[in-house]
């Protein structure tokens, strides 16, 4: 059964803040409530299993990888009542129209993604998704330098902070990420 009113919920924050864990938790609750769920993720996300969303803590949930946002509507089952979208920052701007259309059709849409890139700037379509959502939760991680709450993602390349002019998305580079607070987040120019 479709929801009386569809909606969009966004879970955002830095890396290691628990966004995917929270998406999985909400999807599992929908399954317990006997709702028909589908989860989608960008095909670019191949860090773990291709057909699963997987948190850094190891939780996972079946998911369908798609190349672009419009593919979600093509792969959406007619009886689906809850849709999860992980790593939404990697989708094209069409994700806003897709989530809005699903919500207008009575679907509860749960979106998880990084709200900021490694520079500390708004990431992809996330600001628009957050503005359009009925509910937004911003999660925090723990700063790897001082242990305070962290809202930023520090990219390190060869152990040093990535430079501002480095590409936002690097595929196959020897890089790592840490959660950082505002004080310890560094982006040299």
Residue 11 near residue 111, CB atoms below 8 Å: yes
* Residue of 74, 87, 97, 134 marked active site: 87
Q: Is 9 a catalytic residue?
A: no
- Residues annotated as catalytic are 87
């Amino acid at each position: 059964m479709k929801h009386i009113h569809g909606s969009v919920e966004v879970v955002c924050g830095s890396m290691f803040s628990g966004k995917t864990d929270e998406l999985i938790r909400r999807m599992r609750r929908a399954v317990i409530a006997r709702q028909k769920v589908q989860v989608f993720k960008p095909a670019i996300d191949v860090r773990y299993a291709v057909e699963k969303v997987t948190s850094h803590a190891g939780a996972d949930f079946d998911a369908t990888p798609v190349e672009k946002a419009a593919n979600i509507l093509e792969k959406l089952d007619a009886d689906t009542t809850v849709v999860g979208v992980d790593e939404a920052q990697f989708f094209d701007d069409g994700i806003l129209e897709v989530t809005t259309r699903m919500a207008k059709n009575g679907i509860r849409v749960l979106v998880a993604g990084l709200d900021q890139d490694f520079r500390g700037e708004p990431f992809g379509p996330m600001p628009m998704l957050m503005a359009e959502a009925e509910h937004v939760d911003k999660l925090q991680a723990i700063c790897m330098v001082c242990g305070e709450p962290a809202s930023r993602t520090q990219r390190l390349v060869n152990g040093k902070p990535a430079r501002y002019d480095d590409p936002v998305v690097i595929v196959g580079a020897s890089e790592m990420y840490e959660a950082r607070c505002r004080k310890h987040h560094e982006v040299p120019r």
